[in-house]
Structure 1
Amino acid sequence: MSKVKISDVGVNDRNLLGISLTDDTGVHEIDFSLPERFVPSTDLIALSMGPLLGQKYDHVEFDLPITDRTKSNLSKILQADVTASRLALPSSVPAGKKHGLNFSGGFDSLAALALMPENNELISLDFGGSFKRERQFFEQFETNIISTNFRELGFAKNHWTFMGIGAILLRDYLELDSYSFGSILEASPWNFKQKHFTNAAQPIFASADLKQYNPVLGLTEVGTVMILAKLMPEYLKGSLKSLAAPKSEKLNRKILLLNIVQEIFNDDFGIVATQDSIEPRIKFGNSLASDFLILYIMKNLGRDRAQQLVGEIPLEVDEFIKLKTLKFYEKNNSIFSDSWTLETKQFVSERLLRSGITPYGESDWKEYRETVKFLSKWYPSLSE
């Protein structure tokens, strides 16, 4: 039975929250920088550990007081037996009213920022090391930065929600009511299963009494590039430099999409094309997000340019895209905003229209469904 203990929780005189995580591999000292004179509640500290633990352990021991509600929620989320040193009384912190955006400074989070209501707070995680270039860009914004070492220690691998830990820790400090990510359509296979979609918050954030508002979820990566090109062009080059290493697949993909969007808008952003000598690092059939986008890139730039990103593209891809426009990649799948208030829908729609983005039409829905069905040959979960 795998066990983990969370202990020695405290804040030092440099506003550094220290947490010891002990498992069968040893003792790991995790830290988070905090705003001056602020300490999160023990419930929020415990919940912030949720993404780092994932469902890796059978037994989780918290050597700090947490409420029975948090203990019960973590037990379900972690699929583990959760114990605490003692139970704490529920807090009486007033409900927040602000929107929190987990902000990396990349294209997708910048596009999300462009669609955020005015009453928002940015939260950025500084992982140090090779992520130094991210901080050099996002610190230009009025963002709340938390420096942490958990990614360096390997605890970012257990659940993707680690990117939202800042919103949990700073919920009370920033008076947050909701959290947001720059999550886009192709970020998860789940997003393509419309009948299963729900706008409910992820359990770890719901346990922290945070609602979900993901404004770019109905857009593809093409759409987020279009938003930046029209609403935030001054940040294109800086963001591009910060989001990935030179010659990486991610950087080259963004550049190719920028080349296409330049043609759509008949504009020049001063972004050079990728080098022809770059070898693809991904084979078709191994990454849903890459394969989904490669159909659009092939349609607009041809097979040779597409193969700079993805290798071994089947010939049937050429046949599939031949009679398609694939214009839905440049539009908004409005199913993800069905539960928004009318005011929010109007606000976002106005900004999308300024970016040249309209909702799917009948032909867009048809091609969208045909594309999902086509990709299900390599990704069977799409048809489940």
Structure 2
Amino acid sequence: MAALENFIKVISSLGSEALAVAPERCVQVRNKNARCLRCAEVCAAGAISYDGEDVLIDGDACIGCGTCATACPTCALEAMHPTDAELSDALAERASAGGDVVVACARALRRAHRAAERKAEEASGLLRRVSVDFDVSDVLQVVCLGRIDESFYAECAARGVSQVTLACDGCETCTYHRGGELARKVAASAHELLDAHGYELAAEFASPLPCSVYEKGTAARALGYDPSKRATIVTLREMTAQVARDSAVEALDPVSGEEAPEPRYAKVGPNGTLPQFVPLRRNRVMNSLHHVGEPVRALVTTRLWGQVDVDVDQCSSCAMCAMFCPTGALARRDDAEGNITLEHRPYRCVQCRLCEDICMTGALSVGDMVSLEDFERGRVQEIPLPPRAWTPNRPDSIFTKMNALVGGSNNSYF
């Protein structure tokens, strides 16, 4: 329990102006047997790591890039710089202006800025460097391209965008290369979803920033740079790193006069399940795909939704999977005759695989290939479960259940 308390405290300490944290959504918090470590696997700055026993979080190292939020299946981590809403507003403004959409990371912007200065210096003929800036008002700026998830591409398609350029400065050589690796996986995942709906969205990674985004000028015409523009480039990485650093210090400072809040655990509700929710990001993907059009394929392989399969011959009908499911993709239903049915809603499954991890008999598995018809129509799959080998609330219920689990030959102690 101490390890879990420590995990809740450290993950909560990440909350800042750059990153919002909802510990109760984390599958590691919901059940200690969860194996999900996606945030640690992709953290671009190495702020989240796993030492073989505990998840470790270094708030000072966090740059607020949002890569962990893209990887988190339950949205326990959400990027705040920019937020999904801010990114959506910026996309809407750019799409309404027509043309392609360009997203650039902070490193690419800094490289483009240095290149513009060199060109301006060459054009001016001066021996000293000239402090210059350029207008990138049409560029959607993020700390790292790992911030961009499938909902962004789906919204691009819904708004009629046909080309998205993602500008980086060579992800393979970048300190935060894991963000770039995830960005490419997400782009491929989004392409699969949109292709299954008959929409062609070209997502191209470019290095450095494409020349087409600059306004035409005279000082560095090769870059389309206008030296009369004095727009300032905000160094997002440095700014968000400082915000996260300050917030972490404030949250962990023992002399701040405020005690750290005690860890709070999710409580079982009246229906016998832990609190459930559907991440808004997944809803945005679904809404955008509805605007794109009807699917043209029956099946799609995706990292966003899952298909649950149950081997009823192995299932013990404990329904723990339904109790811990974070989104309500799995629900248990009992009828008057005592029959148990497991309801599966693929459109709610976020492929966190918590149900797979906690299944004591190994009867349950989660696949990444889903039916688009089930997904689009919101269909519910009903899986009849075998009758229980034990009856709850009887004096011998615990013994009978444990005896069945360990394979004993006796079914009662009477």
Q: Structure 2 length as normaliser, TM-score?
A: 0.22
More RCO (CA 8 Å, sep 6+): 2
Bigger helix fraction:
1
TM-score (norm 1): 0.23
State the structure with more CA Rg. 2
